[in-house]
């Protein structure tokens, strides 16, 4: 393993020979009131635009990125997202026309503080105006118009790139079909903001900063900029990734030539990253862009956030990472919940990762988030999904197994046409698949298992990666017509609260569960003195079962009576015979379905 492997590993100050430039044909009015007389946009394109101009994906880069998202060929310099973008990769340039432009305020080709101000003939430097993420997106919009593209298939980006994606969705709702913010949020946390403040102070406190007028100096504010980058790298890593990288040789740093401390391995790493960074980036640009990032704010409360997302029209695919403490996953969920409140189409996955915020730039988790984004864009563009075979609706008369669920037939019959469905514990989405085949298109799944969530996304099923025990209360009252809890009751920690929330968020609830008072279960326990085990839902050993409760039909009926839950209809099944049970179901049925309110 490379000692200094990071998201900066292959970035250099060099430009790709494929860099293009476009000059805006007019002055740019900025959101905070200033005007830029001239704006040059540096950008690169990959793949071919189809005749319908319907296959265009805009990639938005993070704070220190640039237009060179990927190599154009083997002779080209490395791109910052080569693991994702290119022929036959997750964002497949054989299918899609990909655009990536350097953002306004940067120093990598687009107009920024290190550009010449035509009015003065000097570098803008500290006189470069205050800009916003909205200004960055306005420049991108002008580029898209210049390329005569009326509508983007989608926008995708991580971190600050995610902010740009969200800005596209809110500011130009008719211009994009899909939005994929990765490792992003409605706004930076106060803790994240504090790190940026310290980083900017490190730059401005450098003796060579000279109030931002350093371009004619031999010495630049390299120490301050390097310190800012070191601080940034700390926020990009998780505690787990830091331990993995540096604990093995904690007191044996790599020998490098640096004026910074290098007593420990983490010190030499940070020094190396900081000193490499100053070779390719400008201090004034760092201040300009980080300030724009910090100003981005869709709201700190649900009401404000929902209001700001109300006008969006695109499909959403939101991705976070479990170990990202700079843009924690709860912030992504806040966006998700506000979109659901507004009845927008959204899926969400919190990718399990040790890599921290930088996970979206590193190879170790690309198999997960890469599949998700590939499926999202392929389905959005009606492309054939090359990852999976589309799910096949099962025959109604099959027996219960891991995928073959006879109870799905009867649950489906309880759901009226055009109902709005919430499937709690949806697994791979097979029930929703069945309902979609019936023409019920308004459905949402909630699932805690990441692999199942990814399978749902591959099928085009809207799904939220979340724990029922902690997030169900976030849904609005009567938001759904029917909430389904199918074969999940026995694994829930707080049954009373979940059922109460089910009947709050929906007009009706459907609950199905295995009946642990079924006669074979009783006989096995009585005759053999062992924990019952059989096929299907009972097919677990006592030590590895996900079941934390073992309800019987009578238990559930008694529970509903005690908690004033109305049972509208009940069905009892024997999966081996695929028949309904009328006589003594608590003994003879192996599963039950209840319609409640």
Return the CATH superfamily for domain 43-101+151-187+297-381: Alpha/Beta hydrolase fold, catalytic domain (3.40.50.1820)
- The answer to whether 597 is a known catalytic residue is no
Q: Residues spanned by CATH 3.40.50.150 within the chain?
A: 406-596
Q: How is domain 406-596 classified at the CATH fold level?
A: Rossmann fold (3.40.50)
d(CA 398, CA 406): 6
How many other C-beta atoms lie within 10 A of the C-beta of residue 477?
A: 7
d(CA 399, CA 405): 6
Kindly give, in sequence order, each residue whose CB lies less than 8 Å from that of residue 509, ignoring residues fewer than 6 positions away. Answer: 482, 483, 484, 485, 499, 502, 503, 595, 596, 597
Predicted structure pTM score: 0.92
- The answer to whether 578 is a known catalytic residue is no
Catalytic residue (one of 61, 233, 357, 465) = 357
d(CA 177, CA 153): 5
- pLDDT tens per residue, the chain (597 residues)? 344 455 566 667 788 999 999 999 999 999 999 999 999 999 999 999 999 999 999 999 999 999 999 999 999 999 999 999 999 999 999 999 999 999 999 999 999 999 999 999 999 999 999 999 999 999 999 999 999 999 999 999 999 999 999 999 999 999 999 999 999 999 999 999 999 999 999 999 999 999 999 999 999 999 999 999 999 999 999 999 999 889 888 888 888 888 888 889 898 999 889 999 999 999 999 999 999 999 999 999 999 999 999 999 999 999 999 999 999 999 999 999 999 999 999 999 999 999 999 999 999 999 999 999 999 999 999 854 443 333 333 333 333 344 467 889 899 999 999 999 999 999 999 999 999 988 888 999 999 999 999 999 999 999 999 998 777 888 899 999 999 999 988 888 899 999 999 999 999 999 999 998 888 888 877 787 777 766 665 677 777 777 778 899 999 999 999 999 999 999 999 888 888 999 999 999 999 999 999
pLDDT of residue 388: 36
Catalytic residue (one of 324, 341, 365, 407) = 324
Beta bridge partners, 465, equal 447
pLDDT of residue 541: 79
pLDDT of residue 102: 98
Catalytic residue (one of 106, 115, 159, 238) = 159
pLDDT of residue 10: 66
- The answer to whether 381 is a known catalytic residue is no
d(CA 296, CA 286): 16
Cα separation values, 236 from 229, 243, 261, Å: 10, 14, 20
Beta bridge partners, 180, equal 156
Phi (first) and psi of residue 214, to 5 degrees = -115, 5
Q: Residues spanned by CATH 3.40.50.1820 within the chain?
A: 43-101+151-187+297-381
């Amino acid at each position: 393993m490379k000692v200094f492997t990071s998201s900066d590993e292959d970035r250099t100050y060099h430009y790709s020979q494929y860099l293009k430039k476009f000059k805006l044909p007019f002055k740019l009015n900025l959101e905070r009131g200033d005007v830029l007389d001239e704006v040059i946009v540096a950008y690169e394109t990959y793949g071919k635009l189809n005749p319908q101009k319907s296959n265009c994906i805009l990639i938005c880069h993070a704070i220190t990125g640039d237009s060179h998202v990927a190599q154009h060929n083997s002779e080209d310099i490395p791109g910052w997202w080569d693991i994702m973008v290119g022929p036959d990769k997750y964002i497949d340039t054989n299918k899609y026309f990909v655009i990536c432009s350097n953002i306004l305020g940067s120093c990598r080709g687009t107009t920024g503080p290190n550009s010449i101000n035509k009015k003065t003939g000097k570098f803008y430097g500290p006189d470069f105006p205050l800009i916003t993420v909205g200004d960055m997106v306005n420049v991108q919009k002008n580029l898209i118009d210049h390329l005569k593209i009326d509508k983007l298939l989608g926008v995708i980006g991580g971190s600050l790139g995610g902010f740009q994606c969200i800005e596209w969705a809110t500011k130009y709702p008719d211009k994009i079909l899909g939005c994929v913010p990765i490792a992003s949020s409605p706004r930076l946390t106060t803790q994240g903001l504090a790190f940026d403040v310290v980083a900017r102070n490190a730059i401005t406190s450098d003796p060579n900063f000279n109030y931002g007028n350093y371009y004619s100096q031999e010495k630049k504010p390299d120490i301050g900029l390097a310190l800012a980058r070191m601080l940034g790298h700390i926020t990009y890593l998780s505690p787990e990734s830091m331990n993995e990288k540096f604990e093995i040789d904690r007191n044996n740093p790599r020998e490098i030539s640096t004026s910074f401390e290098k007593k420990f391995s983490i010190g030499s790493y940070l020094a190396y990253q900081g000193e490499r960074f100053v070779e390719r980036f400008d201090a004034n640009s760092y201040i300009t862009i980080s300030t724009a990032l910090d100003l981005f704010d869709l709201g700190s409360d649900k009401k404000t956030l929902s209001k700001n997302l109300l006008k969006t029209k695109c499909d959403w695919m939101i991705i976070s990472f479990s170990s990202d403490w700079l843009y924690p996953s709860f912030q992504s969920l806040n966006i998700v919940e506000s979109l659901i409140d507004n009845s927008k189409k959204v899926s969400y996955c919190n990718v399990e990762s040790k890599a921290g915020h930088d996970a979206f730039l590193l190879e170790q988790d690309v198999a997960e988030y890469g599949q998700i984004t590939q499926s999202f864009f392929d389905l959005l563009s009606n492309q054939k999904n090359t990852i999976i075979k589309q799910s096949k609706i099962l025959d109604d008369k099959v027996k219960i197994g891991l995928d073959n669920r006879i109870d799905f037939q009867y649950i489906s019959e309880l759901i009226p046409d055009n109902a709005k469905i919430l499937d709690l514990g949806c697994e791979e989405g097979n029930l929703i698949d069945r309902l979609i085949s019936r023409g019920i298109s308004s459905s949402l799944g909630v699932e805690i298992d990441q692999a199942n969530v990814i399978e749902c996304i591959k099928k085009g099923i809207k799904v939220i990666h979340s724990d029922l025990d902690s997030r169900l209360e976030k849904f609005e009252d009567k938001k759904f017509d029917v909430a389904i809890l199918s074969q999940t009751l026995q694994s829930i920690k707080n049954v009373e609260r979940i059922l109460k929330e089910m009947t709050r968020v929906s007009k009706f609830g459907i609950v199905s569960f295995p009946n642990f008072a079924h006669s074979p279960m009783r006989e096995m326990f009585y005759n053999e003195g062992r924990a019952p085990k059989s096929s299907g839902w009972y097919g677990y050993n006592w030590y590895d079962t996900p079941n934390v409760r073992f309800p019987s039909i009578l238990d559930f009926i008694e529970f509903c009576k005690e908690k004033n839950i109305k049972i509208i209809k009940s069905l009892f099944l024997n999966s081996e015979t695929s028949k309904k049970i009328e006589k003594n179901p608590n003994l003879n049925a192996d599963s039950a379905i209840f319609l409640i309110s």
